[in-house]
Amino acid sequence: MDFDELSTKLKGKLFLSSMMGKCDAGFCASRSRGCSMVQFGAFVLLEEREERNTYWPDPEIDKLTEFMKDQFETYRLESSKLFGKNNIPIISANVFPCSDEDVETSASAFIKAGGDIYELNAHGGIGGDRERGTGSMLFIPEHTQKLFHWAKILVEAGGPVIIKGRGGVIPDFTYHVNQLEQIGVHAFHINVRGEKDGEQDLELLESIRKATDMFLLASGYVKDNKSAESLFSVGADCVGIATAAMNDPDIFTKINL
Ligand SMILES: Cc1cc2nc3c(=O)[nH]c(=O)nc-3n(C[C@H](O)[C@H](O)[C@H](O)COP(=O)(O)O)c2cc1C
């Protein structure tokens, strides 16, 4: 699917935002009702990791392709039983690479495995990120060029790409989103959880909306109509839910947009 087609399906809708330890094929299928897109992972790619599981897959290309294929096919089968094979939500995976090679191999594995839209995790942390330049530390000045380099690799790999960041890492995302847009990145996802518990940082979202025409996904404390509307009202194109989907499998059908 090209990005025009994907964005038409996502515009004004809700999606399941990735949760490491939760978002495998079974969980995504169980939360798909009312979702425009489900996000698997994070899939963290770390060469030296010995113990492998759904969230720490082997980064070797064939093994990674096989692993993603198995996840996506299981999901497609489960969700086609629920909604029919023409109504399967868009498949995204939140991928946390640790090297240039991981970025290249995971992009290729993701496409071969039949994923629809790759999300680069420039949002989380696994320890050692500041020195390594991974996760949310990709946004700090020491590692910004690496973020742009990885974005370029992903765009050149051919599949649509989302870059995901979160508030609180840098004060202003204007420069980053401008550069990412120029590189040809298709979409930007911002977690707008504010400093205070339950508070959405709407100013941050608004400032990103003003800075870029990229398709904009936002997540952060969405649990009902009001909290979803507030993100759409300041410019989100598509709104994600994570925490509220943990306890309520039907949350996406309860929000009427
Ligand atoms: C348990 C849990 C695990 C998460 N894991 C990831 C992850 O692996 N990758 C990622 O980019 N975001 C992760 N997130 C962030 C969510 O995708 C989302 O952006 C954020 O929690 C805001 O949405 P919410 O308030 O609806 O939870 C996680 C959130 C939770 C609660």
**pLDDT, tens digit, 9 for 90 and up, residues 150-202:** 999 999 999 999 999 999 999 999 999 999 999 999 999 999 998 788 999 99
**Cα–chain center distance at 171:** 21
CA of 153 to the centre of ligand 1 (A): 25
Place of tokens 């500041």: 130
Name the residue with the closest Cα to ligand 1, atom 3: 19
pLDDT at 1: 78
Ligand 1 site residues, Cβ closer than 6 angstroms: 17-20, 41-42, 94, 121, 123-124, 164, 191, 193, 219-222, 241-244
- 133/197 Cα distance (integer angstroms): 28
- 227/205 Cα distance (integer angstroms): 14
Task: Count the neighbouring beta carbons within 10 Å of the beta carbon of residue 14.
Answer: 23
Q: Select from 15, 243, 251 the residue to mutate for testing ligand 1; criterion: most ligand atoms less than 8 Å from CB.
A: 243
CA of 18 to the centre of ligand 1 (A): 6
Which has more confidence, 86 or 133? 133
Q: Which residues make beta-bridge pairs with 41?
A: 94
Name the residue with the closest Cα to ligand 1, atom 6: 19
Domain 3-128+148-254 CATH superfamily: Aldolase class I (3.20.20.70)
Q: Provide the H-helix boundaries in the chain.
A: 3-10, 25-30, 61-83, 100-112, 129-132, 144-157, 174-183, 202-211, 225-233, 243-247, 251-254
Name the residue with the closest Cα to ligand 1, atom 28: 19
Indicate the pLDDT class of residue 6, thresholds 50, 70 and 90.
very high
Asked if residues 245 and 16 have their Cβ atoms less than 8 Å apart, the reply is: yes
The DSSP letter of residue 17 is P
Q: Select from 15, 18, 226 the residue to mutate for testing ligand 1; criterion: most ligand atoms less than 8 Å from CB.
A: 18
pLDDT at 194: 80
- Per domain, the residue ranges of the chain are 3-128+148-254
The two tokens of residue 25 are: 């094929």
Q: To the nearest whole number, what is the mean pLDDT of the chain?
A: 96
Indicate the pLDDT class of residue 10, thresholds 50, 70 and 90.
very high
Q: Whole-model pTM above 0.95?
A: yes
Indicate the pLDDT class of residue 85, thresholds 50, 70 and 90.
confident
pLDDT at 133: 98
Cis ω before 42 (30° cut-off from 0)? yes
Q: What is the pLDDT of residues 13-32, one digit of tens each?
A: 999 999 999 999 999 999 99
